[in-house]
Amino acid sequence: MFTRPYKRKFIGSIAMAVVLAAITPVRPKLIEITVNKYIAAADKTFADKAIEILVWITIFQIGFTVLETLLRFYFSYITSWLGQAVVKDMRVKVFGKVLSLNLRQFDKTPIGTLTTRTIDDIERINDIFSDGLIPIIADLLSILCVLGIMLYTDWQLTLISLIPFPIIIVATYYFKESVNKSFYRVRNAVSSLNAFVQEHITGMYIVQAFAAEKREGEKFDEINREHRDANIKAIFAYSVFFPLVEIVLALSMGLIVYYTGRQALNLGVGQEGKVMSFILYLNLIFRPLRVIADKFNVLQMGMIASERVFKVLDNDDVLPPSPPAAYAPAHVKGKIEFDRVWFGYNEEHPVLKDVSFLVEPGETVAIVGHTGSGKTTIISLLNRLYQINRGQIKVDDVPVDEFDVDTLRKNIGVVLQDVFLFPGSVLDNITLMNPSIPKEKVVEAAKLIGMHEFILQLPGGYDYNVMERGATLSLGQRQLLSFIRALLYNPAILILDEATSSIDTESELLIEKAIDKLIAGRTSIVIAHRLSTIQRADKIIVLDKGEVKEVGSHLELLARGGFYSKLHRMQFERKMQAT
């Protein structure tokens, strides 16, 4: 699938492997002929011209060595290039898949695990091409060609030299199995390390605020110890295997010298050239054998990594895509209807139960309830961040499933309690790096919120770097920036999800003034724990444990003396106690 665009390069690398395998035994064979004919003077025919012929043979050997080196360089380059090209395409595909995953996948999957899949595991797939499949094919072809020439030259000597080979075959098998198990443990440990570090760097404030550095450090030490032990086991296998290969090679060479020495004594015929060539042949066989088991492990680890990557690619827990003829109106009026909606992040435990309500265009509706009652979930479903289990959600009498997703979300402006800012300038965070939004519009929105003067006081003004997650700004300032962001996109539907919960009274007054201008002719949904911020809403929806308990205006709900009245009385009493 991913190699199809590079089919010619892939076939070319295989062809290059065949060529390299064919020329591998040439130099040893040429050395054998040279020694037997012109150095040991086995052939007296050319004895007078021996020196001249040796010079030309030497020149040819040098030229042939240079040519072989260039071919091996090109082979190494083309396989590495192919690996990097495939990895680049695969990484883009995987990240695109991650972007389309249902948000529940991020709720239950550690961020570090997805990071490992997208970066580290895909890098292991690159090794399949640069150090795995194609190099293994090249090495095996080279071994077969060398063995073929050895058998053709002297089949008896070849078989004698291969007597210790069963040792290396058994050792290679056990080495491969041992290293494979160790590498599998290493990959799991790396994934755990990535997840742990990602989570703890993100939550470092909590770790330090609760003096948990020592405890969390001990947890990290335990995970890191597993990573170390797995690597040490692999290192031990290497330290045993490579010396064993050298011992087997030495045994084979000893058998060659012994056998050819016996032949020379019995037959009186020089075997110098044959001995030299066979020793070179053995080195050509053992050179790839030293690393072929390691390459098999690289290939296997690449396959394990590819299985993990393809699990992400094959994950079908995504929101249904927009239909081919998706509804994409130029203007959204802002009518919202929830009709008997059921939803749960886990279907066995519903968060919303048979929720129904209607918001007319231009209305301001407040949603109140205890923590965990499902307020924020309603907003996520309206944005199609999750797929409902039952019921229907409509905007302007059209089911949201039939909307073009981009059109729907562009018409819904959201200001959340937990504001996320990207590393970069104030301007980039407000526009979300959209080049089509001019700075003048940003300034206009900032003035409406009352943030323009504050931004100008920052070093660099709108170019001030807010750092990762807005670390250089207060929580209230971050919320105000996100409010500018929502204003800038001029949405038909405005959602304020606990947007003023962490803002001081002065900042809250600034926002309330901006809201008065903003909500005119615009549908607004306000979620807040502080009931004082929603008393002017046209309608208040009271949620409890995922069910709609009451609907009405502030005064109507107070008059009923029900759930809302109880909430209001509790907050009023707490306020009186605080004062």
pLDDT at 469: 64
Mean pLDDT over each residue of the chain, to the nearest integer: 80
Burial 196-216 (b: 16+ CB within 10 A, else e): bebebeeeeeebeeeeeeeeb
CA–CA gap between residue 414 and residue 403 (Å, rounded): 18
Which residues lie below 8 Å from residue 477, measured CB to CB, with a gap of 6+? 454, 470
DSSP state string for 545-558:
TTEEEEEE-HHHHH
Q: Is the pLDDT reported for residue 222 higher than 80? A: yes
Separation between Cα atoms, residue 293 and residue 504, nearest integer Å: 65
Among 76, 568, 25, 83, smallest CA distance to 285 is for 25
Number of H helices, E strands in the chain: 21, 10
How is residue 448 written in tokens? 């409406």
Sequence spans of domains, the chain: 9-313, 336-578
- Cβ–Cβ under 8 Å, residues 288 and 139: yes
Q: Which residues contact 12 (CB under 8 A, 6 or more apart)?
A: 78
Residue 470's pLDDT band, with cuts at 50, 70 and 90, is low
Percent of all residues in the chain with a pLDDT value above 90, rounded to a whole number: 5
Answer whether residue 491 shows pLDDT above 60.
yes
228-249 mean pLDDT: 84
Kindly tell me if the per-residue pLDDT of 3 is higher than 60: yes
Fold of the domain spanning 336-578: Rossmann fold (3.40.50)
Class of domain 9-313: mainly alpha
How much is the pTM?
Answer: 0.64
Confidence of residue 342 (pLDDT cuts 50, 70, 90): very high
**CA 487 → CA 125, 415, 478, 517, 555, distances in Å?**
45, 10, 14, 11, 30
Is residue 140 within 8 A of residue 296, CB to CB? The reply is no
Length of the chain equals 579
Edge-first strand listing for the sheet containing 364-369 = 412-415, 493-497, 523-527, 364-369, 539-544, 547-552
Cβ atoms 280, 142 nearer than 8 A: no
